[in-house]
A and B are shown apart, each in its own frame.
Chain A
Amino acid sequence: MMLNPSDGLPDDRKSLYPQSQSSAYKCGDKTSPISVILVSSGSRGNKLLFRYPYQKVAECPSSLSAKQRNPYVLNTSGDELDDQDGDSREQSPLTDEQLVAGFSDIVLSTILATKSDMCGKKFELKIDNVRFVGHPTLLQHPPIIQVSKTDPSPKREMPTMILFNVVFALRANADPSVISCMHNLSRRIAIALQHEERRCQYLTREAKLMLAVQEEITTTETDGSPQSPFRQILPKCKLARDLKEAYDSLCTTGVVRLHINDWLEVSFCLPHKIHRIGDTYIPPEALERSLKAIRPYHALLLLENEKTLLSQLPLDCSPALIRLIKTCSAVKNLQQLAQDADLALLQIFQIAAHLVYWGKAIIIYPLCENNVYMLSPHANICLYSPLAEQFARQFPGHDLPSMLAKFSLPVSLAEFRNPLEAPTQEFAALLVNQAQLIQMVVWMLQRRLLIQLHTYVCLLVPPSEDEPGLRDEDPPLAARVGGRSLSTPSALSFGSPTSSDDMTLTSPSMENSSAELLTGGDSPLNKRMTETLLASLSEHERQFILNIPAAQNPEDLRMFARLLHYFRGHHHLEEIMYNENMRRSQLKTLFDKFRSVLVVTNHEDPIISIFQSPMD
């Protein structure tokens, strides 16, 4: 029976990110664009084809005076109409939107339509508090004009477009990673447009429409109420609607999906909007670092219902992706997933990273009874939070704060079944059966309410009493047994093909894998291996360890020596179990026997803790 704990997830995706919705529209959101602008340069000079949001030309003082005016409203729009270049800043602080609106169409077309030698590269221009980012693109071949055979008039010179630029205006203090993401989107749209232009002159046609509407509006300005030409362009031009949609999506969900000319799909996501916990976002570099460090024993937890997720995929998506989504589960680790879905482990890593990047999944340690969970320090435990409401709907009869209170002290899933708990009245209400408990835990993990604690071990030998001066000179084991990386082979990098395809790891390649050490008693080979392993320790440390009563047992000593390089505080119990194929009880007993030289502590796994708590 495959446990699908994601059943019954609310389909309303927006509810996963309650706070980000309200802040997206507030002035000053650094991850949203202020405006999107399309300019072109050609035989007719530089033109601004479209911009959104467009200037609300209707708000000029003359029309305002006609309406009822609130005496407390500051009239700042008057400045804009006088000063075409938007330079007047000292009188009243203009919002960033007003700043961009203050740039007239002509000024924008002049500064944003570059020369051809700037094409094919990142374009970035900052004017005071506004930063324009784009990727000017050259249209190489002049469009072939179809001239009607019956048309006797001489072929007119059709205006040709030489280059175009899709520009996003951002706030100047936007993060460099946001800027490069926006540049990426501009480039993607440009590639699609360039392709469609070559195929069927799509861009030229749309541009013609846009310019025609603009000319029409300026020539037929009657009754003194100027309209924005861009408002009229929208219903007529698909490209304009696409650009508007891109802008709107970037400001809200951060996920853009366009179909240029109803044919080419351009998809893009802004990680800063997708990976938010409360008010802070996880920087993409941190995300990437984390993804490069995931191991086969980690698991993939989908953040959305399987059905919802599958319906969001494009028709021509990879079948491997579909297989993975259908087979993944919170209790299965990536290696098992590879076997079940019949895919190479490397491919699983890549698809998992892709899903995580798009905010559709997070990496966790697979659910099992011995997992110990605790409340995340960033969890929202407020009584009136939308999460509390959702929880009550999802799990009637239980309330979120009481459930969260149970995780105030680290508790393993096995402990929930402990019948020794005194059944007080409120506890009776909290008693849950195992299946429902798993569902609740998964629900809480998806909403970043819980963190998992792991046990880490560090070797620290008590200092010798007779030479106090020297003892601190010995660098701790961690510094000496340095650099041996146990991470996944370097093959995992975004988008690059790899040569090492067999990554069905059972244990990574290390010099001291279990197969090498024979189990047969006290053979000279084993003794020598143990000695070699202990050679990395200082004399004092070695003596101390050998004097521990448990070290008199050669089996124990051998196991200790073999696991020595894990005792740096960077490998948790489950990792050692996975790599060395050992049972939890074996390890715990070993730690206990050698507790005079080992220090044990519990904390979250820093590799995946980023999904539960943002970087400090």
Chain B
Amino acid sequence: MKFGKRIKEQIQESLPEWRDKFLRYKELKNLISSPAPAESIFVGLLNAEIDKFNAFFVEQEEDFIIHHKELQYRIQRLVEKCGDNEEMFRLEIGEIRKDIVNFHGEMVLLVNYSNINYTGLAKILKKYDKRRGGGIRSPFIQKVLHQPFFKTDLVSRLVREWETTMDAVFPAKVAEEGYERSAAVTSAAAGEGIFRNTVAALLTMREMRRGSSTYSAFSLPPLNLSDSDLVLRSVHLSSPIPIP
């Protein structure tokens, strides 16, 4: 039930367009508890879910690729336009910076989306096998590993690229607050959604990895989040999400 609750929270905190794209964990779980459906039915339903993931993931990925290039061009054009004019550069870069952070955030959330759905599938399969005493979990999961939605390599690569870019473009702590404020305030609302979702995701992960009652060979070890605990505590001040 813990995962069910967590994935529900995740979905609630997620970006609106994403909400119906997640695994329908609760429904599937309920489906199993009543006379568990025949394998063919169940597999069919799971396959349909996977279809959904793949379609959404690939579509988002395509959008990201386009946006990725556009951001690069924007920066490039700005650099060209400003030349040596550092002042001008700093004025305009604020908007781009916020965009980068939000873009980075969305991509991470897509990776999170992939992971949550995979984890949910693994859990559901485990429950099903427990109920039916079958062995569909292992081969099915093997198949899932090759699904497009699970292959997050490209998105992760872009994420890391932008982390590097951020370090490079915004290296020093400069007093930028003045001109950044106007740009940032309007768009902070956009960032809010992503920020909240990210925090929720981190909390979910921590909870899930805390150690379950059904710990087995296929369970994940507890999460090692020492650094981010500090971050999450500081987040408590600025985030409306109740943190346990």
Chains A and B bind each other: no
